[in-house]
């Protein structure tokens, strides 16, 4: 056994042990500890992180850090263990899914490069980092498990010995008869697809301030999270507090993309430290920490084949998807969801009768992986659409025509996919016709042929897609997760006549508050400027699921609509009482009460004055009700599916391998469009993230499991100058599962953009017989496919 000790500062961030006597004084509620710490100003925490991907922790020296002036506490995983119950990322509806208990800080062993090991609390972030540099952690390096094949090999090192092997979860879907279909098919196409790991790269990093009041045993957490009620439940249960004594505040969050709805060790540690010290503690991840510890996504290797008839009819798909999720299944939503959705979305837009999908989810010594924008969709879409293009080429069919021959047609709805998804009604036929017209498809093909004769290689790629939105009430609850699928709204008319809306869906920069204000104003009959929307505070917001899975407009919207309708009825009842009329004779229009002739009888400010300050002028026993609350649970289908088609037009320089994006088109159907500008920009933003995955973004590790893309210089994000014009069109098919008819749109752009780019690159390179199936499609990979390197 060898022992290695990190040099001071080598691990980045650090931590150590709280003096026992100080802790005892704190527990008694007296002494200098309480005066200096419990009621002092904001403290800051920094973390010592493992420089190894896999190592046993053999010793932690903290004396030097504790002696540094301004350092308040140095805390290890063992110190926090009594304060914070561990969590395990499994759910009952994924039978066989396993994971190890996880603590805020690593105990005994570190299992990925960057895992927090020690926490240092100080009077400033700079002092906390200085203290972290003085902590020395001794490690015994262990063999890292990095590769998918290595993780599954006989005798492979096991990430968690108690779990016996590295297989976290396995699933098989089979309609039966798949082998017979392939044996009789006129054409079989197959390929292997690889998807690079990437991460969310939000403008605002993960951050929180935890403030525990030891006298009241109440914890307030100002947290950049998508799901304040989920985190309220998590903090209460794992820190041993009453749920009512935990408040989570998340008003405006600077981007999340699914990354900010998971439980992270640093955030649990920050809250536990606030409980331990009895004072507010702040943590803000820097960019290096974000790369090391924000969840990653999309690390998949898929082997797939498709059976096709002579006429181009898709008969079957057979898919094996292997994905590496890091050392833990992430809590509380699990790391099985991405793979589960990927194999269930395969072939989604098409009417193939037979399907077999096999999924393996394996542990690795890399950053944990979990849900990120368009969970599983880009994987399923790229595999399906890549095989569709390959089959079309072999049959001599135009790729758009190939899709027309296979999409589910209007006479087939409602339709069940071979993987079990139910579609109420999709509009792929209309979307295909619209995109052909928008892009001038025939003209682009003529231009492509002319340019090829001159040595200029342009390509056109299509990708048909579906998007899971408006998840139903059983989405997580059926597995035992305390994650709400319903939403709530409280709406009141102020004495001024203005409207206050408190709603459980949250604002992440996607325009939630604008949408909710529009819905409230429309269904009340008041000016938009008179509506104020408040979100993200578990003390004042009604309980609800918040923001995930493109559910804001589709689930939160009807909640606000029903609340507005109820408040409008109450306002008209009060107005009728004041005016000695019948409610059905009155209407609320532009913030005024009008009669059947359209004449203004009073404005809402006057109604508010009477209802709130002069109720003595109203009939006896009449009680104006100007505050209402409603909740909404989506009904009917388990999901409402948004659908559409994307097209990419690009040029490949066959000498350098560089790709120049020329134009990108999206035609999508998200049902009722509430705010056209916000919808279009959500689509465009999603496309940009998809283009990043296709061409630029990839998290890389070296052979020892050390992260090598830990800065913005190494991890390439798409920039404005590299993006094409993105043209957005719409087909409108309102869903009957929602009173608004709205479906989600937040992930549609991301779902299909990588597949469209892949098909366009392969179309451009078709004269050379070159194909690429590994994302991102870097210049090196393109030149390698061309045989030039």
Measured distance CA(312)–CA(743) in Å, rounded: 31
Please state, rounded to an integer, the average pLDDT across all residues of the chain. 93
Measured distance CA(531)–CA(335) in Å, rounded: 39
Measured distance CA(97)–CA(604) in Å, rounded: 56
H or E element at residue 502:
strand 499-503
Which of 162, 142, 138, 194 is closest to 328 using CA atoms?
Answer: 162
User: CB burial class (10 A; 0-12, 13-18, 19+) of residue 444?
Assistant: middle
The answer to the question of residue 297 being in a domain is no
pLDDT of 12 above 60: no
Return the pLDDT at 635: 86
Same domain flag for 765 and 676: yes
The answer to the question of residue 333 being in a domain is no
Mean pLDDT of 569-593: 97
Q: pLDDT digit string (tens) for 311-329?
A: 999 999 999 999 999 999 9
Mean pLDDT of 46-75: 98
Of 632, 666, 688, the last residue of a domain is: 632
Return the pLDDT at 36: 38
Alpha-carbon distance values, 554 to 217, 273, 531 (Å)? 37, 38, 20
184 Cβ contact list (under 8 Å, min separation 6): none
Same domain flag for 503 and 552: yes
pLDDT of 251 above 90: no
Tell whether the torsion through CA atoms of 101, 106, 109 and 111 is positive or negative.
Answer: positive
Same domain flag for 589 and 656: no
Which of 43, 105, 117, 46 is closest to 80 using CA atoms?
Answer: 105
The answer to the question of residue 123 being in a domain is no
pLDDT of 63 above 70: yes
Which of 599, 577, 581 is closest to 590 using CA atoms?
Answer: 599
Return the pLDDT at 20: 33
Confidence of residue 41 (pLDDT cuts 50, 70, 90): confident
Mean pLDDT of 573-583: 97
Q: pLDDT digit string (tens) for 521-539?
A: 999 999 999 999 999 999 9
Mean pLDDT of 491-508: 97
pLDDT of 510 above 50: yes
H or E element at residue 211:
strand 207-213
Strand order in the sheet with 4-5: 4-5, 136-141, 55-61, 109-110
pLDDT of 30 above 90: no
Strand order in the sheet with 487-493: 531-535, 499-503, 487-493, 627-632
Same domain flag for 648 and 769: yes
Mean pLDDT of 30-50: 65
- Domains identified in the chain, total number: 2
Same domain flag for 596 and 660: no
Of 632, 650, 685, the last residue of a domain is: 632
Q: pLDDT digit string (tens) for 332-383?
A: 999 999 999 999 999 999 999 999 999 999 999 999 999 999 999 999 999 9
Q: Dump strand ranges (E) for 77-203.
A: 109-110, 116-122, 136-141, 167-174, 187-195, 198-199
- Residue 640, classed as helix, strand or coil, is strand
Same domain flag for 490 and 574: yes
Structure tokens at 627: 């505050």
Query: What letter does residue 350 receive in the DSSP assignment?
Result: B
**Spatial contact of 183 and 196, defined as CB atoms under 8 Å apart:** no
Which of 182, 247, 181 is closest to 213 using CA atoms?
Answer: 247
pLDDT of 435 above 90: yes
Could you tell me the pTM of the whole model?
0.93
Which of 110, 104, 137 is closest to 274 using CA atoms?
Answer: 104
Mean pLDDT of 244-251: 96
pLDDT of 33 above 70: no
Measured distance CA(420)–CA(344) in Å, rounded: 7
pLDDT of 27 above 70: no
Confidence of residue 424 (pLDDT cuts 50, 70, 90): very high
Same domain flag for 559 and 612: yes
Radius of gyration over every alpha carbon of the chain, rounded to an integer in angstroms? 28
**Spatial contact of 495 and 613, defined as CB atoms under 8 Å apart:** yes
Measured distance CA(480)–CA(470) in Å, rounded: 19
Confidence of residue 737 (pLDDT cuts 50, 70, 90): confident
Which of 444, 621, 476 is closest to 548 using CA atoms?
Answer: 476
Same domain flag for 725 and 744: yes
**Spatial contact of 428 and 407, defined as CB atoms under 8 Å apart:** yes
Same domain flag for 464 and 505: no
Measured distance CA(300)–CA(359) in Å, rounded: 10
Structure tokens at 214: 């030891």
Confidence of residue 685 (pLDDT cuts 50, 70, 90): very high
Structure tokens at 545: 């699921």
Return the pLDDT at 35: 33
Of 613, 632, 651, the last residue of a domain is: 632
How many residues make up the chain in this entry?
Answer: 789
The answer to the question of residue 549 being in a domain is yes
The answer to the question of residue 573 being in a domain is yes
Q: pLDDT digit string (tens) for 166-215?
A: 999 999 999 999 999 999 999 999 999 999 999 999 999 999 999 999 99
Structure tokens at 87: 């969590």
Same domain flag for 712 and 599: no
Angle at CA of residue 180, ends 178 and 183, nearest 5° = 110
Confidence of residue 477 (pLDDT cuts 50, 70, 90): confident
Q: Give the least confident one: 19-28, 135-144, 294-303, 655-664.
A: 19-28
Query: What letter does residue 789 receive in the DSSP assignment?
Result: -
Q: pLDDT digit string (tens) for 604-634?
A: 999 999 999 999 999 999 999 999 999 999 8
Confidence of residue 8 (pLDDT cuts 50, 70, 90): very low
Confidence of residue 472 (pLDDT cuts 50, 70, 90): confident
pLDDT of 739 above 80: yes
Structure tokens at 405: 């021959």
Give the number of other CB atoms < 10 A from CB of residue 1.
6
Task: Provide the CATH number for the domain around residue 453.
Answer: 3.30.365.10
Query: What letter does residue 38 receive in the DSSP assignment?
Result: I
Same domain flag for 732 and 682: yes
Of 663 and 478, more confident: 663
Measured distance CA(604)–CA(746) in Å, rounded: 36
pLDDT of 21 above 50: no
The answer to the question of residue 277 being in a domain is no
Measured distance CA(292)–CA(114) in Å, rounded: 5
Mean pLDDT of 440-468: 98
The answer to the question of residue 620 being in a domain is yes
Mean pLDDT of 115-128: 98
Domain span including residue 502: 8-31+486-632
Axis crossing angle, helix 676-695 with helix 748-764, rounded to the nearest 10: 50
Return the pLDDT at 475: 81
Structure tokens at 748: 């549609």
- Residue 526, classed as helix, strand or coil, is coil
Structure tokens at 192: 């292997």
Which of 323, 434, 458, 444 is closest to 378 using CA atoms?
Answer: 323
Measured distance CA(549)–CA(373) in Å, rounded: 8
Measured distance CA(210)–CA(206) in Å, rounded: 13
Helices (H), 729-778: 748-764
Return the pLDDT at 167: 98
Return the pLDDT at 473: 80
Same domain flag for 455 and 579: no
The answer to the question of residue 416 being in a domain is no
Confidence of residue 249 (pLDDT cuts 50, 70, 90): very high
pLDDT of 17 above 60: no
Which of 513, 576, 753 is closest to 650 using CA atoms?
Answer: 753
- Residue 606, classed as helix, strand or coil, is helix
- Residue 347, classed as helix, strand or coil, is coil
Structure tokens at 215: 């006298």
């Amino acid at each position: 056994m060898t022992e290695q000790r990190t040099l001071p500062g080598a691990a980045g961030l650090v931590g150590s042990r709280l003096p026992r006597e100080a802790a005892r004084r704190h527990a008694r509620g007296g002494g200098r500890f309480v005066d200096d710490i419990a009621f002092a100003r904001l403290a800051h925490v920094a973390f010592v992180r493992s420089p190894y991907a896999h190592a046993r922790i053999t010793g932690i020296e903290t004396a030097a850090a504790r002696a540094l002036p301004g350092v308040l506490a140095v805390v290890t995983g063992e110190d926090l263990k009594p304060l914070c119950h561990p969590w395990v990322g499994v759910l009952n509806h994924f039978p066989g899914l396993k994971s190890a208990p996880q603590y805020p800080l690593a105990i005994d062993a570190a299992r990925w490069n960057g895992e927090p090991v020690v926490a240092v609390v100080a009077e400033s972030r700079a002092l906390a980092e200085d203290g972290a540099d003085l902590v020395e952690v001794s490690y015994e390096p262990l063999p890292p498990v990095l590769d998918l094949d290595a993780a599954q090999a006989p005798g492979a090192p096991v990430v968690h010995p108690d779990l016996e092997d590295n297989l976290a979860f396995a699933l098989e879907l089979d309609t039966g008869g798949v082998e017979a279909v392939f044996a009789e098919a006129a054409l079989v196409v197959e390929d292997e697809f690889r998807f690079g790991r990437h991460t969310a790269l939000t403008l605002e990093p993960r951050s929180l301030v935890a403030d525990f009041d030891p006298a009241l045993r109440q914890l307030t957490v100002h947290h950049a999270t998508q799901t304040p009620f989920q985190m309220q439940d998590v903090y209460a249960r794992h820190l041993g507090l009453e749920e009512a004594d935990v408040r989570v505040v998340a008003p405006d969050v600077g981007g999340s993309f699914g990354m900010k709805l998971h439980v992270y060790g640093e955030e649990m540690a920050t809250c536990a430290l606030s409980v331990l010290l009895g004072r507010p503690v702040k943590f803000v991840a820097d960019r290096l920490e974000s790369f090391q510890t924000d969840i990653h996504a999309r690390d998949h290797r898929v082997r797939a084949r498709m059976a096709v008839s002579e006429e181009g009819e898709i008969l079957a798909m057979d898919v094996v998807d292997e994905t590496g999720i890091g050392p833990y299944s992430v809590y509380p939503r699990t790391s099985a969801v991405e793979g589960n959705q990927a194999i269930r979305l395969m072939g989604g837009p098409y009417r193939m009768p037979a399907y077999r999908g096999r999924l393996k989810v394996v542990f690795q010594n890399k950053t944990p992986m979990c849900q990120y924008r368009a969970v599983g969709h880009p994987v399923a879409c790229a595999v399906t659409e890549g095989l569709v293009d390959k089959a079309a080429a072999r049959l001599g069919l135009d790729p758009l025509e190939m899709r027309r021959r296979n999409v589910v047609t209007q006479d087939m709805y409602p339709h069940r996919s071979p993987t079990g998804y139910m579609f109420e009604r999709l509009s792929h036929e209309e979307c295909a016709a619209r995109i052909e017209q928008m892009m001038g498809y025939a003209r682009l093909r003529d231009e492509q042929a002319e340019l090829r004769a001159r040595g200029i290689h342009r390509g056109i790629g299509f990708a048909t897609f579906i998007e899971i939105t408006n998840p139903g009430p059983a989405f997580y609850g059926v597995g035992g997760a305390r994650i709400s699928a319903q939403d709530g709204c409280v709406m009141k008319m102020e004495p001024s006549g203005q409207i206050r809306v408190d709603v459980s869906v949250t604002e992440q920069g996607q325009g939630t508050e604008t949408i909710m204000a529009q819905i409230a104003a429309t269904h009340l009959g008041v000016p938009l400027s008179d509506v104020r929307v408040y979100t993200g505070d578990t003390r004042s917001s009604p309980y609800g699921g918040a923001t995930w899975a493109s559910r804001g407009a589709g689930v939160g919207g009807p909640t606000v609509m029903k609340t507005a309708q109820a408040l409008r009825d109450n306002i008209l009842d009060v107005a009728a009482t004041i005016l000695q009329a019948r409610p059905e004779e009155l209407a609320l229009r532009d913030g005024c009460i009008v009669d059947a002739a359209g004449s203004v009888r009073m404005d809402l400010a006057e109604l508010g004055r009477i209802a709130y300050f002069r109720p003595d002028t109203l009939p006896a026993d009449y009680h104006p009700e100007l505050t209402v609350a409603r909740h909404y649970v989506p009904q009917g289908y388990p999901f409402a599916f948004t659908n559409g088609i994307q097209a990419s037009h690009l040029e490949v320089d066959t000498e350098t391998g560089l790709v120049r994006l020329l134009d990108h088109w999206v035609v999508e159907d998200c049902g009722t469009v509430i705010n056209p500008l916000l919808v279009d920009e959500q689509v465009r933003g999603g496309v940009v993230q998809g283009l990043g995955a296709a061409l630029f973004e990839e998290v890389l590790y070296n052979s020892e499991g050390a992260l090598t893309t830990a800065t913005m210089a190494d991890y390439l994000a798409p920039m404005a100058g590299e993006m094409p014009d993105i043209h957005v069109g719409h087909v409108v098919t309102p869903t009957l599962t929602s009173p608004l008819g709205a479906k989600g749109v937040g992930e549609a752009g991301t779902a299909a953009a990588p597949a469209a780019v892949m098909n366009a690159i392969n179309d451009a390179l078709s004269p050379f017989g070159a194909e690429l199936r590994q994302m991102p499609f870097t210049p090196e990979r393109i030149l390698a496919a061309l045989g030039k390197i």
